[in-house]
């Protein structure tokens, strides 16, 4: 008998310029009948210099406000440390978790929401459907577009002890509410806007080239690719319309992932992140830049997008990597069996051999 996945998407979202101003009403609705239950705000540190930014989002003096360290992407240790800090501050049953930022902040908020209601530590839930209880109600407010963290069913974390970069892949990880305000992306660095935006493009390139597909997922992915072409090939990607289109592409890209898996780019990118500490978006771009043999059409289009937007992709990042580091990258990439099977089939190890993988890394 064929098994059909029961797909879950974000139940509610508010979209449009200025929509962030509705957040306080959404938070207050979760505070309970007496209105006393505190909220937890996890915010990108970019906004530390923006005066009363948390208060403009509905934060009160009795709420827990934490600025998430985004110098590196989420680690199991960082998530555990943040949870311990909140509990030590007396936060045990928050009314709502609000994540405001990019993929690192949004993923951290999802992980924290799950760990408040599930026993154990972050590393206990790296995998598929290991989270058994609904997390704290959570609201996501992305301030950069591309990762799909706002709509995906995972929150990616790196466990430096095991070398595993993998999230809590669970229906309970999905946000309960989103506030999608493209005005919040207007101050993003231009190169970073491109690197992160390309994550949405790459998700859907890999999904459409893979073996685990569905008509709905394909429709999401095809729409994302058309939106990305509109953003990155026509005019200024950071125009008001460009930012709106990319925010939609990011959201739909996360939805597409719920129906499929990524491919070769993400596992090799994970090797760069785990070993060299490169952030996910730029690591993806570096990886696609070296994978013309696997994704020739997407690679050619990617190069045209780079040219059209005048951005730069780092080169030679593995030039000084030791043999030990290169082998560690291969080990980290090889842990991603489902994406590699999606891309190359069950015999993927005979196609993407270690020698071939090492050769790809040496090109980066």
The model's pTM: 0.94
The predicted structure's pLDDT at residue 49: 80
* Helical segments of 117-157, H only: none
Instruction: Enter the tokens of residue 248.
Output: 């939609």
Q: Are 100 and 42 in contact (CB under 8 A)?
A: yes
- Using the predicted structure, report yes or no on whether residue 107 has a pLDDT greater than 90: yes
* Helical segments of the chain, H only: 23-28, 53-56, 76-88, 103-115, 190-208, 215-233, 240-257, 265-276, 280-289, 296-309, 323-334, 337-344, 348-351, 354-363
Cα–Cα distance for residue pair 335/165, rounded to 1 Å: 8
The predicted structure's pLDDT at residue 3: 67
State the pairing for strand pair 164-169/156-159: antiparallel
What average pLDDT score do residues 124-145 get?
A: 97
- State pLDDT tens for residues 309-330: 999 999 999 999 999 999 999 9
Cα atoms in the Cβ-side hemisphere of radius 13 Å centred on 264: 24
Orientation of helix 280-289 relative to helix 296-309, angle to 10°: 120
What average pLDDT score do residues 63-81 get?
A: 95
Which residue(s) pair with 224 in the sheet? Answer: none
Instruction: Enter the tokens of residue 38.
Output: 């505190």
What average pLDDT score do residues 52-65 get?
A: 94
The predicted structure's pLDDT at residue 4: 73
What average pLDDT score do residues 191-196 get?
A: 98
The domains of the chain, with CATH numbers, are 12-185 (3.40.50.1970), 190-363 (1.20.1090.10)
Q: Which residues contact 338 (CB under 8 A, 6 or more apart)?
A: 261
- Using the predicted structure, report yes or no on whether residue 156 has a pLDDT greater than 80: yes
Stated length of the chain: 364
Read off φ and ψ for residue 273, nearest 5 degrees.
Answer: -70, -45
The pLDDT-based confidence of 145 (bands split at 50, 70, 90) is very high
The pLDDT-based confidence of 2 (bands split at 50, 70, 90) is low
Give Cα separations from 271 to 224, 259, 260, 354 (angstroms): 26, 24, 21, 13
What average pLDDT score do residues 254-263 get?
A: 92
Give Cα separations from 3 to 128, 130, 247 (angstroms): 16, 19, 32
State the pairing for strand pair 177-180/12-15: parallel
Q: Are 23 and 56 in contact (CB under 8 A)?
A: no
pLDDT, mean over the chain: 95
The conformational region for residue 163 under phi > 0 = left, psi -120 to 50 = alpha, else beta, is left
The pLDDT-based confidence of 258 (bands split at 50, 70, 90) is confident
Given the structure tokens 């790296």, which residue do they identify?
A: 126
Q: In b/e form, how buried is each residue of 237-254, taking b as 16+ CB within 10 angstroms?
A: bbeeebbbbbbbbbbbbb
Calculate what percentage of the chain has a pLDDT beyond 90: 91
The distance of Cα 90 from the centroid of its chain, to the nearest Å, equals 29
Least confident of 35-39, 160-164, 273-277, 351-355: 35-39
The pLDDT-based confidence of 1 (bands split at 50, 70, 90) is very low
Instruction: Enter the tokens of residue 42.
Output: 């996890």
Would you tell me how many other CB atoms lie within 10 Å of the CB of residue 134?
14
The distance of Cα 74 from the centroid of its chain, to the nearest Å, equals 10
Q: What is the dihedral of CA 212, 214, 216, 220, to 10 degrees?
A: 30
């Amino acid at each position: 008998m064929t098994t059909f996945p029961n797909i879950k998407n974000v139940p509610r979202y508010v979209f449009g310029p200025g929509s962030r101003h509705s957040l306080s009403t959404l938070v207050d609705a979760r505070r309970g009948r007496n209105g006393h239950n505190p909220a937890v705000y996890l915010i990108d540190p970019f906004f530390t210099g923006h005066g009363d930014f948390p208060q403009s989002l509905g934060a009160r003096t009795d709420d827990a406000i934490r600025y998430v360290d985004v110098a590196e992407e989420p680690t199991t240790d960082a998530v555990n440390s943040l949870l311990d800090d909140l509990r030590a501050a007396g936060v045990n049953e928050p009314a709502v978790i609000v994540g405001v930022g990019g993929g690192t902040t949004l993923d951290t908020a999802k992980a924290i929401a799950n760990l408040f209601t599930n026993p154990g530590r972050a590393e206990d839930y790296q995998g598929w459907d290991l989270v058994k209880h609904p997390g704290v109600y959570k609201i996501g407010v992305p301030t950069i577009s591309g990762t799909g963290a706002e709509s995906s069913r995972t929150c990616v974390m790196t466990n430096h002890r095991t070398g595993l970069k993998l999230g809590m892949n669970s229906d309970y990880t999905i946000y309960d509410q989103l506030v999608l305000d493209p005005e919040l992306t207007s101050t993003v660095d231009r190169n970073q806007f491109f690197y992160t935006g390309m994550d949405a493009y790459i998700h859907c390139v890999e999904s459409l080239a893979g073996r685990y597909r569905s008509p709905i997922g394909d429709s999401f992915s095809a729409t994302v690719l058309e939106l990305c072409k509109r953003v990155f090939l026509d005019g200024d990607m950071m125009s008001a319309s460009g930012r709106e289109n990319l925010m939609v592409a990011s959201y739909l890209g996360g939805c597409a992932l719920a129906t499929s898996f990524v491919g070769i780019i993400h596992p090799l990118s994970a090797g760069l992140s785990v070993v060299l500490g490169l952030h996910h978006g730029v690591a993806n771009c570096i990886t696609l830049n070296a994978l013309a043999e696997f994704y020739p059409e997407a690679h050619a289009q990617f190069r045209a997008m780079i040219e059209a937007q005048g951005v730069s992709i780092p080169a030679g990042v593995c030039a000084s990597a030791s043999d030990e580091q290169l082998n560690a990258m291969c080990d980290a990439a090889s842990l991603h069996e489902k994406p590699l099977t999606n891309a190359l089939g069950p015999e993927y190890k005979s196609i993407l051999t270690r020698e071939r993988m090492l050769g790809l890394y040496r090109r980066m």
